[in-house]
Structure 1
């Protein structure tokens, strides 16, 4: 089975065209070699897939005949992705919450309220010290 079709069948990508595009960009390697979309996948192959800033490590156990349901995916692949990869993603999400990128436009109403609350707290502390 082609690797783009396999990744679609085991639900790593929503469509085959998205899977093919990721493969063309070089986000997928099979047994340590960068793969092409037409590369055949066999049982016991090791696939490394970069998706959403995580390097998934997948071991092919069997080849499905067509796209399988989410409950049946584990029959056809073994996920060997290290837990540190998911922890790193959580840290990235937490760090983005406290950062507002330059040029993102005007502050929202909630941002404005937070700024005013922060400034009011500073003014209260200054008045108490006097």
Structure 2
């Protein structure tokens, strides 16, 4: 699994792929994946990385890293489109170092999150 994620360029390094698997950020056909798990054609891989969900279908289970054009042919990307920039801009963010939210701010955040 970690070799395939690295070889199709979903992650930058193999150790990052292994860490993502151990951390529960990778699922194969709905089940958590281990770094050493074998995959085959038709498997659905879900990778949560940098706040973005990537959903891909395995076409070719590569055993080693190949060139970018060949890596693009080894998967079918079924990821949902990213949200519009207006939606991302409307999400309130706390300034770095501002400390913990107050009780009032926590209630406001909970109200915002309940609409999602």
- Which band: TM-score by shorter chain? 0.7 to 0.9
Flag structure 2 segments of 5+ consecutive residues without an equivalent: 99-116
Q: Which residue of 1 aligns with 2:3?
A: 5
Q: What CA distance in whole angstroms lies between the structure 2 residues aligned with 1:80 and 1:56?
A: 8
Q: What CA distance in whole angstroms lies between the structure 1 residues aligned with 2:57 and 2:96?
A: 42
Q: 1:26 to 1:100 in 2, by over 3 A?
A: closer
Q: Which residue of 2 aligns with 1:47?
A: 45
Tell me the SS of whatever aligns to 2:97: coil
- Whichever structure has more helix as a proportion of its residues is 1
Report the CA distance between 1:102 and its aligned residue.
Answer: 5.0
Bigger radius of gyration among the two: 1
Greater relative contact order, per chain length (Cα 8 Å cut-off, separation 6+): 2
The normalised TM-score by structure 2 is 0.73
Cα deviation digits, residues 80-121 of structure 1 (max 9, x gap): 0011xx126x443x357x8560537xxxxxxxxxxxxxxxxx
Flag structure 1 segments of 5+ consecutive residues without an equivalent: 105-130
What is the CA RMSD across the aligned residues, in angstroms? 2.1
Q: What CA distance in whole angstroms lies between the structure 2 residues aligned with 1:31 and 1:99?
A: 34
Aligned residues: 97
Once the two structures are superposed, the pairs formed by residues 1-130 of structure 1 within 5 Å of their partners are: 3-83=1-81, 86-87=82-83, 90=85, 91-92=87-88, 94-95=89-90, 101=95, 103=97
Q: 1:99 to 1:39 in 2, by over 3 A?
A: closer
